[in-house]
Structure 1
Amino acid sequence: MQKKPNILILMADQLTALALPSYGNRVSLTPHINRLAAGGVVFEQAYTNSPLCAPSRYVFMSGKLPSRIAAYDNASELPSEVLTYGHYLRHAGYHTALSGKMHFCGADQLHGFEERLTTDIYPADFGWTPDWTRPQQRPSWYHNMGSVIDAGVCVRSNQLDFDEEVVFSARQKLFDLARGDDERPFCLTVSLTHPHDPYAIPQRYWDRYRHEDIDMPAVGAADVAADPHSLRLRHVSAMDDTPVSAEQVRNARHAYYGAVSFIDDQVGILLETLQETGLADDTIVLLLSDHGDMLGERGLWYKMCFFEGACRVPLIISAPGRFAAGRVSRAVSTVDILPTLVDMACDGNRPEAPEILDGRSLWPHLHGQGGHDEVIGEYFGEGTVAPLLMIRRGNIKFVHCPGDPDQLYLLDQDPHERHNLAADPAQAALLASLRLECSQRWDSRHLQQQVIACQRRRRFHYQAQSQGLRRAWDFQPFRDASQQYVRSHIKLDTLEAMARFPKVDGHGG
């Protein structure tokens, strides 16, 4: 039986699969990700189950759909009792650690991770709770078009501050694991915030691209009729109040590509660290994103919808000694990651889970044995006032939201989703079956009531917690300086021998 593998999870934020050469993009420059894809398994049709930061991450960590765990929006709490891959892998004997973003809201800021190396970039409180009862009220804290209008070059940003700390901490952790005496395998999650807007990146990344080579949206706002959800997204992000020029669109996409190259450089640093520490041959590497970015397609920006730009994500799994390189065309999603990680930890002999999962393991796909071809999506965040639901199966994508016209696309014939076939008589039988499936799978009215009640409680909670002495939930990393570097209670030779890698015998004077 093979030794249990180490697992390194590399997560980008708002990285659409459509921005990577491994998925057909002809503009972006990502040599490190390209090499990872060339030696790994590329899931060509991978999706997020909820195109918003916190819900997508809760799903990815728990193997459960948003409605199962009340993961409605970016101020939703992940309850402590919800099991995550952190719990599952610790139970299987792994050391689990997180460096970077996971957008946990609430008092529990670990959720199965044995340790966190950094704080989060986003708040842990309930301040960003939407209000479905006031659809015309645009939240002051939400996206606006400043990210597009002001897109371009920067010297520094809070996202650069954060991501460089994340990578430094992760790299140090890999060295500590390599030179430490903990015999357990590890699962280290490194979660960066680029290429999430605002679209601003240093000159050296901007200059990797010629401005005239930046591609423009394939489908403009005037090329397709706006569905009601898209109109609500335009309102909630002030897109209609702030027209953008073609040059501003190109600037934003240029900066986004620069940020993608920044991510690629960080991937390269961490993969090089695996080689330097001698851990590469024993480590499975997963690269993925929480959701995508519309980048001006259909006149939309950011995420929050089930169009391909927002919900298609990269998913690359590389372990050349374990999985043959290849490409998987079946539709899978990030809810499938937890059972896959457990299969990796148990060499496919996954023990019975203590609960029912919504995700299905990608183990058969990784071994060329077929596997499922289905994605279920749920969105309960800003820009909707009722559950936005999606079924993706085979070449079919069906999107349903009570009160809105249905959307039906055949993606093999219409990859840009220009033609909604929901009113096509030739698709009447298919549409009827999908509507029936929706009604059997979800009670939309009850879900809507649950979401509104939860929103009301959290807004009240935040207002109460803001009165008087405020106790923040934001994670505070602790570093014991008394155990770092040179300290008088540790013999110098012993300390230097412990800290040096590769190890040497300490015989100095």
Structure 2
Amino acid sequence: MSQYKNKRPNLVYIFPDEFRAQSMGFRGEDPVITPNLDTFATESLVFQNAYSNSPLCSPYRGILFTGKYPHENGVINNCHSGRPDCYLRSDARCFSDILSENGYQCGYIGKWHLDFPREADYPFVDSRREDGFVWDAYTPPGKCRHGFSFWYSYGCCDRHFTPHYWKNDSIIEARLDIKQWSPVHETDAAVDYIKNISQEKPFALFLAHNPPHMPFDEVPEEYLKLYEGKSARELLTRPNAEMTEAARENVKRYFAAISGLDIQLKRVLDALEEKGVLDNTIVIYTSDHGEMMGSHGRMYKGCCYDEAFKVPLLIRYPKKITPRTTDMLISTIDLMPTMLDLMGLGDCIPKNIAGISVGDSILENRDGDIRQVLYTLTDNRCGFADKYYTFAMERSNEREPYEIFLFDHLKDPFQMHNIAMEKPELTKECRRQLILMLEKYGNPLAQKLRWMRQTDRFLFIADSL
């Protein structure tokens, strides 16, 4: 265990749910109002190409904390009562466990979504959804919280105006029900945590806001007023956006929630400055996945399109990181080892994880060597992105054939032209590369893809690989 001597940096990791990379004002893409993020970007290392390996809430969190892919860490899909085998194992060695073992005070605020509810918990967790499953869960104190000594969290409850929490060692019956927009309340808790934390040891605080995740209509009027008079057509400016009913109805609300989150970021930074620890704190702003919001006629996430696959990633650490924008490709799997490196704990990176640290590249102000990022979401969605292409194989269920996607980043930045049929040799090579990547990480899907018989219009890539 490390002996802390007031040298190691603190960490504040902020990751609102379903915040797409394109919805940050400084990027000049979506017409969203984010003045504090814009300023934060000028002080940070900004990744233009940060990806969520599994653009879905629970799988992202599993990857983030374990540095392992879903087939290894057990969080292969979203956690709820219908998937009793899908949860973060208590014996998993997580990022927060390592920090705690090395003298960090660890705090978690907001959405956890890494446990499934037990039947005995049902009276005290959020009610069943329309799909018949219970998504909320109580995480009991102990090993399931993976080193977090401060806990102000819940499982999965999308009630932005009426959130609930369990604090520290409180029993399940002691649920706290709040009537306040959840990001404001959670930021209150974060500010209080920072204000009162001991400086005898470093701290690591994870702040997991639920908005801009749906329901999109649960956003305060004060943030909606920022977009007053703006039509959906004025807000849905991406060339691939379609004026679907859902997108027209919700885009203003989605952007308003992001503007509300922008204000909460400043409150956290102000608290760090008032505490006198801002410049010795690594502040990371990112998300678990994006939101389609009408692009390609779709909503939500869980697909290979950039609006869902790409996420914000900004790292502020003025003591050691030069503010700049980088085109380096990075993904969720690499965040745990990279953060440990940045925090001076590179020797503590587990040997059995799939993630690779790019800490040296960041500190040396150069682009790293990672050139491919894997996309994997159950057996029905997989692929990868590299500097030039996004390749993916997706299907709705195991009885359906895969649909093949291949997009050229340089010629087609909005992914409007699928060239898989036009480039059979390139498609075949991409499929070969995908199988090799899956095999490298021990994903059993590799064997299925290697030998499965292609059908219908995808026979052109059925040659033996």
TM bin, normalised by shorter chain, reads: 0.7 to 0.9
Give the TM-score taking structure 1 as reference length.
0.70
The structural deviation recorded for 1:391 is: 1.0
Q: Which amino acid aligns with 2:364?
A: H
Structure 1 448/158 Cα, relative in aligned 2: closer, same or farther at 3 Å?
farther
User: Is 1:255 aligned to residue 256 of structure 2?
Assistant: no
Q: Which amino acid aligns with 1:396?
A: Y
User: Is 1:340 aligned to residue 344 of structure 2?
Assistant: no
Could you tell me whether the CA contact under 8 Å between 2:30 and 2:237 is conserved in 1?
Answer: no
Pairing partner for 2:224 from 182, 206, 214: 206
The structural deviation recorded for 1:321 is: 2.1
User: Is 1:3 aligned to residue 36 of structure 2?
Assistant: no
Q: Structure 1 CA distance, aligned partners of 2:37 and 2:446?
A: 40
Count of equivalent residues? 386
1:169-208 CA distances to partner (integer Å, 9 max, x unpaired)?
Answer: 111110111xx3x511111111111111111222111111
Pairing partner for 2:156 from 102, 114, 122: 122
User: Is 1:77 aligned to residue 64 of structure 2?
Assistant: no
Q: Which has the larger radius of gyration?
A: 1
Pairing partner for 1:103 from 89, 109, 113: 113
Q: Structure 2 CA distance, aligned partners of 1:445 and 1:318?
A: 34
Q: Give the stretch that moved more between structures: 110-119 or 275-284.
A: 110-119
The structural deviation recorded for 1:379 is: 0.7
Pairing partner for 1:174 from 164, 172, 194: 194
Q: Which amino acid aligns with 2:392?
A: V
Specify the SS of the correspondent of 1:299. coil
Could you tell me whether the CA contact under 8 Å between 1:98 and 1:113 is conserved in 2?
Answer: no
Structure 1 335/22 Cα, relative in aligned 2: closer, same or farther at 3 Å?
farther
Q: Which residue of 1 aligns with 2:311?
A: 313
The structural deviation recorded for 1:429 is: 3.3
Q: Which amino acid aligns with 2:215?
A: P
Structure 1 segments of 4+ aligned residues over 6 angstroms from their partners? none
Q: Which residue of 2 aligns with 1:164?
A: 184
Within-5 A mapping of 1:444-463: 446-447=444-445
Pairing partner for 1:388 from 381, 389, 392: 381
Q: Structure 2 CA distance, aligned partners of 1:313 and 1:163?
A: 19
User: Is 1:438 aligned to residue 418 of structure 2?
Assistant: no
Q: Which amino acid aligns with 1:193?
A: N
Q: Which amino acid aligns with 1:206?
A: L
Is there any run of 5+ residues in structure 2 with no aligned partner, and where?
80-85, 117-138, 165-179, 396-400, 449-465
Q: Structure 2 CA distance, aligned partners of 1:218 and 1:397?
A: 18
Q: Structure 1 CA distance, aligned partners of 2:240 and 2:255?
A: 19
Could you tell me whether the CA contact under 8 Å between 2:371 and 2:387 is conserved in 1?
Answer: yes
- The higher-RCO structure (CA 8 Å, 6+ apart) is 1
Give the TM-score taking structure 2 as reference length.
0.77
Q: Structure 2 CA distance, aligned partners of 1:449 and 1:396?
A: 23
Is there any run of 5+ residues in structure 1 with no aligned partner, and where?
124-142, 144-153, 223-243, 381-385, 451-509
Could you tell me whether the CA contact under 8 Å between 2:109 and 2:151 is conserved in 1?
Answer: yes
Q: Structure 1 CA distance, aligned partners of 2:162 and 2:257?
A: 12
Within-5 A mapping of 1:164-313: 164-177=184-197, 180=198, 183-200=200-217, 201-210=219-228, 211-212=230-231, 213-220=234-241, 245=245, 249-313=247-311
Q: Structure 1 CA distance, aligned partners of 2:148 and 2:241?
A: 46
Structure 1 28/115 Cα, relative in aligned 2: closer, same or farther at 3 Å?
same
1:437-467 CA distances to partner (integer Å, 9 max, x unpaired)?
Answer: 23334379954999xxxxxxxxxxxxxxxxx
Pairing partner for 1:23 from 17, 24, 27: 27
Q: Structure 1 CA distance, aligned partners of 2:6 and 2:323?
A: 19
Q: Structure 1 CA distance, aligned partners of 2:33 and 2:20?
A: 14
Q: Structure 2 CA distance, aligned partners of 1:308 and 1:56?
A: 16
> RMSD across aligned C-alpha pairs, in angstroms?
2.7
Q: Which residue of 2 aligns with 1:52?
A: 56
Q: Which residue of 2 aligns with 1:13?
A: 17
Q: Structure 1 CA distance, aligned partners of 2:417 and 2:321?
A: 38
The structural deviation recorded for 1:331 is: 1.4
Q: Give the stretch that moved more between structures: 366-375 or 303-312.
A: 366-375
Q: Structure 2 CA distance, aligned partners of 1:440 and 1:312?
A: 23
Q: Which amino acid aligns with 2:36?
A: H
Could you tell me whether the CA contact under 8 Å between 1:67 and 1:378 is conserved in 2?
Answer: no
Specify the SS of the correspondent of 2:264. helix
Q: Structure 1 CA distance, aligned partners of 2:35 and 2:272?
A: 17
